[in-house]
Chain A
């Protein structure tokens, strides 16, 4: 009996050790949390950032793609040629790419995707990205020619957006609930209100991802988010909603805090058509009444970069125009008096749920009150905000972060919710779109930034920081967010 017992004990220990070791080695699943749950999973038919966070680069890919540092690199298109006149792009597609349902990805799919996005009845949230496309021709299964009506220096950048990913006609019907893409991860399961499961795509055309499984959990409540990270229920929290908790994570050796930049210009959006905001003096007074640093410190606990125009500070073409709207309550009062409002006026301030808006709004209301402007706060949910403010344009002021990359073009759309209508600016944007020369583009972008800053279209507050928390040994996460994405293709566990 005894030797037997001994042997089984030894083998048991060995087995245990192997199991333990294999568990350490086999750590190839990850749980990532984010705050908002996507309404559905089709990035080509909705503006919701949460969709892109889940699917971008993981499930769906475009002809080109964003890297974490903001660079545009080839995606499904292996290479491309641009004609002399800048109007014809010939894309060479990767060979051997298949969708998750086994069908091949070829020129027809590219044509289908682009035609669908730019079509009359397209539900694409960024139709403007495709507006310049005159024709898409499939030369052979791996070559697609896109002809533009005007040269567009931004075209490759536009194609990298989540709204421009390549989808297949075979699987388009159920794309919202069962997305089928070409990415390194396959959609596996969606428990509404809780999580989405992804699994590794063994047929992936590119390098295999290190992770075999990924779970994306939705935790909307900031307190619950803090608890989930602290209890290590989640490995990563992308877009952590409570900046005040970050120092605590930073001090904890179990975690790493990732602070990067986003494309989110957080602005005090002003209804330019609603009196008295149709008067530039009033808008200027508004700008001088605001103390940006107090908002960054108070609402974001110091995370955020002050901006003086609608442009991301990490962009090489950025001009620092914060000086145009330095905090100066006396000047604001004088301007108000000049505009005919010596005793100020009353207006409304609609605040959507994120803390930058709710907290920032309370601070701004107090700052406006100091110069005599009484802003009545109304807290609204996103659906209500879209209804009343964005579509209904029934607001005085609101705070929102515009997270689309390079979106200064919205100022050329007079029907856009803040209703800025300036012919000169619209012409400038039109000629920018036709310019491909980088130096000239930079110059025009800088002019555009200056125009809206000096017109005080909106109150420019700060560039939203990309705040994330992860376990200390998770590597390969995006620090910056050049577009909304939780790109898991390069993520792995250290040791």
Chain B
């Protein structure tokens, strides 16, 4: 295992742990407003200080991690759940009209600037975590469809697929039983990358007020709220900012590490 994978995995699991722990315990109630104690810098009681409403930053950060991870996870789920079958179908029917429809549809979605469309979707259908998930999820579909099709196409040329075909298996069964397991490593790597992009997208949407709505904490909104207070309470912006950086960095490192680890060609080259 590479250093990237260890470091990335460590950072990512730290965030995941914070999110999980927040379900059962946070230092304070994340929504408890305590105006007299507002804008406290980190102390023994409030580890990361308090925000402009006197809410505990540590608790908000933990619950915010939950929001970020949940949105990104479901969005990647949507992308994989729809994109992978589409990609497999397109590869199995290479050159057919179905392949054309799927792939040109993908191109169409790809052609739109994703964050702008995500803003459009949430602006039309209302701001909120669910719409943010859908908006981010839609743009994950072509990513997975394309990567699956590309990898599957080369597999379809291989002898073991031919053998399966001769054995009388339908192309759907071949896709599920032989192609999918062989593209899984690629999907896992891509999934990690998309996951980190999803977290960034969620933060971006929340920053412009279209993500999770208050009082549900979200890193992007914490940043937005801190904007006018940077000059006298920089920790309000630095803390969620670092959280986003570390999470995205961790996931990207993990993605890199996983690719090195899972890719058979690289593995051979190393030994």
Contacts and interface: CB of A to CB of B under 8 A. Distances in A.
A367 B215 CA distance: 12
Contacts of A192: none
A242 B233 CA distance: 14
Interface string A311-349: 000000000000000000000000000000000000000
Interface string A25-44: 00000000000000000000
Interface in B216-241: 227-229, 231-232
Contact of B53 (A222, A223, A298, A378): A298
A298 B33 contact: yes
B13 interface: no
A226 B228 contact: yes
Contact of A365 (B54, B214, B227): B214
Contacts of A242: 228
Interface in B97-153: 126-127
Given A363-B53, A379-B209, A379-B213, A298 B38 contact: yes
Nearest to B53: A298
A23 interface: no
A263 B81 CA distance: 56
Contacts of A359: 52-53
A298 B36 CA distance: 9
Nearest to B36: A297
Interface residues of A, number: 23
A379 B33 contact: no
A244 B229 contact: yes
Interface centre among B33, B36, B213, B232 (most CB of A within 10 A): B33
B213 A377 contact: yes
Contacts of A376: 213
A366 B38 contact: no
B14 interface: no
B35 A378 contact: no
A245 B227 CA distance: 11
B206 to A, nearest CB: 11
A284 B126 CA distance: 31
Contact of A223 (B35, B227, B232): B227
Interface in A234-269: 242, 244-245, 247-248
Nearest to B123: A381
A298 B52 CA distance: 7
Nearest to A245: B228
Interface centre among B32, B36, B54, B228 (most CB of A within 10 A): B228
Is chain B's binding surface mostly helix, strand, loop or mixed?
loop
Contacts of B52: 244, 298, 359
A379 B231 contact: no
Interface string B153-182: 000000000000000000000000000000
A362 interface: yes
Contacts, number: 57
Contacts of A226: 228, 231
A11 B31 CA distance: 70
A298 B33 CA distance: 9
A244 B228 contact: yes
A294 interface: yes
Is chain A's binding surface mostly helix, strand, loop or mixed?
helix
Contacts of B53: 298, 359, 362-363, 366
A222 B227 contact: yes
A248 B231 CA distance: 9
Contacts of B228: 222-223, 226, 242, 244-245
A210 interface: no
Nearest to A295: B35
Interface centre among B31, B214, B215, B232 (most CB of A within 10 A): B214
Interface centre among B32, B53, B232 (most CB of A within 10 A): B53
B122 to A, nearest CB: 11
A280 interface: no
Contacts of A369: 31
Interface in A278-310: 294, 297-298
Contact of B231 (A245, A297, A378): A245
Contacts of A294: 33, 35
Given A362-B33, A362-B53, A363-B33, A377 B227 contact: no
B33 A248 contact: no
A226 B227 CA distance: 10
Contacts of B38: 297-298
A369 B31 CA distance: 10
A464 B256 CA distance: 54
Contacts of B214: 361-362, 365, 377, 379
Contacts of B215: 362, 365-366, 377
Interface in B68-101: none
A365 B213 CA distance: 12
A366 B31 contact: yes
B6 to A, nearest CB: 39
A230 to B, nearest CB: 9
Interface string A347-367: 000000000000101110111
Contacts of B227: 222-223
A378 B213 contact: yes
Given A298-B53, A379-B209, A363 B35 contact: yes
Interface in B22-65: 31-33, 35-36, 38, 52-54
Contacts of A365: 214-215
A379 B32 CA distance: 20
18 contacts: A222-B227, A222-B228, A226-B231, A244-B52, A244-B229, A244-B232, A298-B35, A298-B53, A298-B54, A362-B53, A362-B215, A363-B33, A363-B35, A366-B32, A376-B213, A378-B126, A379-B127, A379-B209
Given A298-B33, A362-B214, 14 more contacts: A222-B227, A223-B227, A245-B231, A248-B232, A298-B35, A298-B54, A359-B52, A363-B53, A366-B32, A366-B33, A366-B215, A376-B213, A379-B209, A379-B213
Q: Kindly list the 8 A-B residue pairs having the minimum CB-CB distance in the complex, ordered from nearest.
A: A242-B228, A298-B35, A366-B33, A294-B35, A223-B227, A222-B228, A297-B35, A362-B214
